[in-house]
Amino acid sequence: MVEITIRGAGIFGLSIAWACVQRGASVQVIDPNGPASGSSGGIVGALAPHVPEKWSAKKAFQLESLLMAEPFWREVETVGGGQSGYCRKGRLQPITDEKALALAHRRAETAQDHWADQAVWQVVRATASDWEPASPSGWLVYDSLSALIHPRRACEALVLALAAKGVEVQAEGADKGRVLWATGVAGLQEMSASYARVVGSGEKGQAALLAHDARDMPQLFAGGVHIIPHRDGTVAVGSTTERYFDSPDQTDAKLDDVIAAACAAVPALADAKVIDRWAGLRPRSHSRAPMLGAWPERPDHFIANGGFKIGFGMAPKIAQIMADLLLDGRDTIPDGFRVEDNL
């Protein structure tokens, strides 16, 4: 039985642990701060695809992962009894003018080429529904590939599923077997210091949770803001992207601006009570892509980091390919996602 130690209990660490346990490995997960203590403990959870044009290996990888998400989270919930909040109801975005309308129609054609019959990207007429973003052109983009998840609860669901398989998240412990480092911002900072160059950094995000029940409705993206109708009867709005900040975990007026933008896009949110405010650092690799693979100069040590804004959407596929590498020595990591691309 292969022994695996995973350091870090965010979405990458937990999902890779789950994939390894499912394939019969002996796994321990160690995180001194506990599960989802970093950016994986957020509240937004927009699993949204890149636009279906200028196709690349990164976009193909993301497409495959988004299509894997439903069975991945269904099994996690079945085994552990938790609720991830996963739901695939698509996304609506407003079209601002004639130029944007023409671009949206072109993207509908390229979506047919790249998404085939697995999802659609459509131009649809606005209907003045309460759950539609205001659209200056009278038209919206609807895509059926976008899904949503509750990040904090998804990590809790993974913890429960792992516990059902006999794996508890530990605060400390000695390494056993092969070691995977999925330590987020702290890991990027450690590598930057070790290599005397910027390997990656943390970028701050702020988000809010509103008391408004729009469950089973599509998510919205308008005014630069994600508006996510969670299945528990709340709506998450976010988020900021801040490279420079005074406090990494405190909310401020920038979040007030996000809430105001969401209410302007969807007036039905105007009277919704703010029930939670969140701020945290998200790990951004130098290349902006996930950072995966063997740790150079450290035999039997591996890295999974840099899931900046796309960590939950990429997690099912990343879990699969990292389990391939850790358990079988099979390297299927796409070009551009490798540790070496950031060193």
- What digits encode the pLDDT tens for the residues 58-103? 899 999 999 999 999 999 999 999 999 999 999 999 999 999 999 9
The predicted-structure confidence for 295-320, as pLDDT tens digits, reads as follows 998 999 999 999 889 999 999 999 99
* Mean pLDDT in residue range 142-150: 98
Say which residues have a Cβ less than 8 Å from residue 329's Cβ, sequence separation at least 6. Answer: none
Residue 342 above 90 pLDDT? no
d(CA 162, CA 28): 10
State the pLDDT at residue 75.
Answer: 98
pLDDT for residue 128 = 83
Give residues with Cβ within 8 angstroms of 6, minimum separation 6. 13, 16, 17, 20, 27, 28, 29, 30, 179, 180, 182
Say how far apart CA 178 and CA 3 lie, in whole Å: 6
Distance CA 62, CA 46 (A): 13
Q: Is the pLDDT of residue 1 over 90?
A: no
The residues pairing with 122 across neighbouring beta strands, listed in sequence order, are 142
Instruction: Specify which residues 187 forms β-bridges with.
Output: none
Predicted local distance difference test score (pLDDT) of residue 222: 96
Query: Residue 55 sits in a domain of what CATH number?
Result: 3.50.50.60
- The set of residues, in sequence order, having a beta carbon less than 8 Å from that of 166 and lying 6+ positions away, is none
Look at residue 126 and tell me whether its pLDDT is greater than 80: yes
pLDDT score, position 57 = 87
Instruction: Give the 3-state secondary structure percentages of the chain, helix then strand then coil, rounded to 5.
Output: 35, 25, 40
Q: Is residue 272 part of a domain?
A: no
Q: Confirm whether 246 is domain-assigned.
A: no
What lies within 8 Å, CB to CB, of 60 at 6+ separation is 114
**Would you state the pLDDT for residue 343?**
83
Contacts of residue 3, Cβ cutoff 8 Å, sequence gap at least 6:
25, 26, 27, 176, 177, 178
Looking at the domain assignment, is residue 271 inside a domain?
no
Q: Mean pLDDT, the chain, as a whole number? A: 96
CA distance 115 to 133: 25
Flag the least confident range among 179-188, 320-329, 334-343: 334-343
pLDDT at 16 over 90: yes
Any domain includes 49: yes
Structural domain for 22, as ranges: 3-88+146-199+286-342
Judge whether 317 lies within some domain. Answer: yes
Q: Which residue has the higher pLDDT, 30 or 57?
A: 30
Residue 80 placed within a domain = yes
Residue 234 is assigned to a structural domain of this protein: no
Q: How many domains does the chain have?
A: 1
Mean pLDDT confidence for 24-52? 96
Mean pLDDT of 134-150: 96
Q: What is the pLDDT of residues 222-244, one digit of tens each?
A: 999 999 999 999 999 999 999 99
pLDDT band per the 50, 70, 90 thresholds, residue 172: very high
Q: Per-residue pLDDT for 270 more than 90?
A: yes
Share of the chain above pLDDT 70, in %: 100
Whether 61 maps to a domain, the answer reads: yes
215 burial (CB, 10 Å; 0-12 / 13-18 / 19+) is middle
Residue 2: what pLDDT? Answer: 87
User: What pTM, to 2 d.p., does this model score?
Assistant: 0.96
Torsion angle, alpha carbons of 196, 241, 156, 175, to 10: 0
| Inter-residue contact 277 to 328 (CB < 8 Å) | no
